[in-house]
Amino acid sequence: MATPTLTDGRVTIRPIRIRDARPLENELMGNRAWLRQWEATNPHGPAGFDVKASIRSLQAHARSGAGLPFIVEHDGEFAGQLNVSGIAYGSLSSATIGYWVAERFAGRGVTPTAVALATDHCFFGLGLHRMEICIRPENAPSLRVVQKLGFRYEGLRRRYIHINGDWRDHFCFALVVEEVPTGVLRRWKDGRALESAARIPDADLQAATRPLRF
């Protein structure tokens, strides 16, 4: 399945290419402190840092229909990445979104725009039914992204994803297509996104401060 190029204003998401390896590596190296605490890691030990291999792997997932690997651009400049992964069809018809931008692009609404473009493509281009975003409780900027777009809080997943060297709790947010008949981007731009949908119940906020007992 082809990964499309989609634009709104100054933000474009487009398929990742092998020739993105150099700028991608530069940004990953130049933003180590900014990205490290949110980065997925390998539970079986440190993986090699081979950007070309990771691009090839993303492209293989795209070819198999399991993912959409986007580069995020701001005014045509490389700003970050957005990956749609774990695409399931049939009776689940669901997928997960992950993202990052380089620190110098933070705070310009690049990520909400990119997420809205990708989500609308998944709903109305691919016919998926549900899109999910999972975020560490400590990640206030990312929690703002789902809040702005009106993603609905679904729950706390304990020790859910291996991030920065350990299994980390995540808050899970989702939208199903019936909630956004005019699309996520249109709803947000029209000021109709329901920020309260992303509200996290106090019980989950408190639970996430306590380690899981086992």
If one asks whether residue 30 binds ligand COA (CB under 6 A), the answer comes out as no
CB of 144 to ligand COA, least distance (A): 4
Gyration radius of the chain over CA positions: 17
Assigned token pair, 2: 């082809």
CB-wise, 36 or 63, nearer to ligand COA? 36
Q: Looking at residue 38, what DSSP letter applies?
A: G
Query: Cβ atoms within 10 A of the Cβ of 100, count?
Result: 22
Site for ligand COA in 93-152 (CB under 6 A): 99-101, 106-112, 135, 139, 141-142, 144-145, 148
Crossing angle (nearest 10°) for helices 51-63 and 21-30: 120
Question: Residues touching ligand COA: how many (CB under 6 A)?
Answer: 20
CB-wise, 89 or 197, nearer to ligand COA? 197
CA distance 201 to 207: 10
CB-wise, 8 or 89, nearer to ligand COA? 8
CB of 109 to ligand COA, least distance (A): 4
CB-wise, 141 or 201, nearer to ligand COA? 141
Q: Look up residue 57 and give its amino acid.
A: S
CB-wise, 21 or 28, nearer to ligand COA? 28
Assigned token pair, 90: 């049939």
Q: Which listed residue (38, 70, 153, 188) binds ligand COA by CB under 6 A?
A: 38
CB-wise, 163 or 180, nearer to ligand COA? 163
Residue number with the smallest Cβ distance to ligand COA = 107
130-135 vs 77-88, strand pairing mode: unpaired
Q: Are the CB atoms for 28 and 35 separated by under 8 Å?
A: yes
CA distance 9 to 155: 33
CB of 39 to ligand COA, least distance (A): 8
φ, ψ of residue 73 to 5 degrees: the values are -120, 145
Footprint on this chain of ligand COA (rule: CB under 6 A): 34-35, 38, 99-101, 106-112, 135, 139, 141-142, 144-145, 148
